[in-house]
Amino acid sequence: ELSLTIIKSGMIEILNLFFRLFLLKTTVLPIFKIFVFLFYNISNPRNELEEFIMSLINTEIKPFTATAYQNGEFKDISEQNFQGQWSVVFFYPADFTFVCPTELGDLADNYAEFQKMGVEIYSVSTDTHFTHKAWHDSSDEIKKIQYPMIGDPTWTLAKNFEVLIEAEGLADRGTFVIDPEGKIQIIEVNAGGVGRDAQELLRKVKAAQYVHAHPGEVCPAKWKEGDATLAPSIDLIGKI
- Catalytic positions are 100
As beta bridge partners, residue 66 has 77
Distance CA 122, CA 148 (A): 5
Q: Give the contacts of 55 (CB within 8 A, at least 6 positions apart).
A: none
DSSP line for 101-149 = HHHHHHHHHTHHHHHHTTEEEEEEESS-HHHHHHHHHH-TTGGG--S-E
Q: Quick one: CA dihedral 155, 161, 165, 167, positive or negative?
A: positive
User: Which pairs count as long-range contacts for 185-191, CB under 8 Å and 24+ apart, including other chains?
Assistant: 185/57, 185/58, 185/212, 187/56, 187/57, 189/163
* Torsion, CA 153, CA 68, CA 157, CA 92, rounded to 10: -80
The type of residue at 102 is T
* DSSP one-letter code for 46: T
